[in-house]
Amino acid sequence: MEQILKPSAHLSIGEISKHMYKLLIACALALTFTDAPVFAKGRQAEDFHSNIAYVVDVDSGEVLVDRNSLAISPIASISKLMASIVVLESGQGLAEPLRIEREDIARQSSAKWKLKVGTEISRMRVLRVGLMSSENRAINALARSYVGGTGAFVAAMNLKAKELGMAHTHFIEPTGLSPQNVSTAQDLVLLLQESMRYPLIQEFSTTEKFNVVDGIHAPQPFVNTNPIVRNEIMDVLVQKTGYIAAAGRCLVMEAKIKGRNIAMVFLQSNGKNTRFKDALFAKAALEKIQ
């Protein structure tokens, strides 16, 4: 049974906190961007704090921000976007049940929320949890159940990257826990655009909360790893976060801002919230454009 948590008619304590969070963000943005340059030529990259920052109007092709967009870097769980594309292109039944096995445990992961071993839910629900909550066991189970197993799954990820023209991208495993999963910001915009072709990837990557119910375990709650999505402070169309030590904090996202489809890539961010602040800065700067 699938449970996507919806807001009730009355505000809960959690919802009040969300509204307060939005108010604080709005106030901070108003103070921060009163005199902010609107993508002034030659100064764009100076106003962003991620070591790699790339912002593009994907409809016109206009590059708004470019800091180290051709630098090859580990991409952590951004890898899961490509994994999701491979799942959806495989033709395997989304209603087919998958069981989380011990071999799906990602020993390198310190994530707080993990699917319990023995959980049996549909491939579709496994994919939702893998995308929205960056659940490594979910992605490992999807790769293991692929025709030919995990090796064939990773090969399909690399083949798809080649087909998309992602010349500087390579995967050696499906989750992104390996620092050898690498790409560039320019390649990741191509990945975002391909992800936009799949309504399920858009939906699942922007799901705020989700309860896994399998009839065996107590409901297992998962939340989106992106606070911009959780707090509904931007019209996000598709997104993915990531983190391992070698990659730093990562974020790829496409959002609708003043009627424009804007792709953003922030890699090698220091500090837990730097990548999100960079995304909000881009939003505020674009909204100042008349």
CA distance 264 to 251: 8
Structure tokens at 75: 């991409």
- Is residue 38 within 8 A of residue 289, CB to CB? The reply is yes
CA 133 – CA 226 distance, rounded (Å) = 9
Which of 18, 50, 73, 80 is catalytic? The answer is: 80
Alpha-carbon torsion angle 194, 236, 262, 90, nearest 10 = 0
Residue 134 designated active-site? yes
Q: With CA atoms as reference, report the closest residue to 242 among 100, 131, 126, 87.
A: 131
Answer whether 279's CB lies under 8 Å from 288's CB. no
To the query of whether residue 77 is one of the catalytic residues in this protein, the response is yes
Q: Spot the catalytic one: 50, 69, 73, 77.
A: 77
Active-site pick, 50, 134, 145, 183? 134
Show the beta-strand stretches assigned E in the chain: 2-4, 52-57, 63-67, 73-74, 97-99, 120-122, 182-183, 209-212, 220-223, 235-244, 248-257, 260-269
Whether 288 sits among the annotated catalytic residues: the reply is: no
Q: Which residues are catalytic?
A: 77, 80, 134
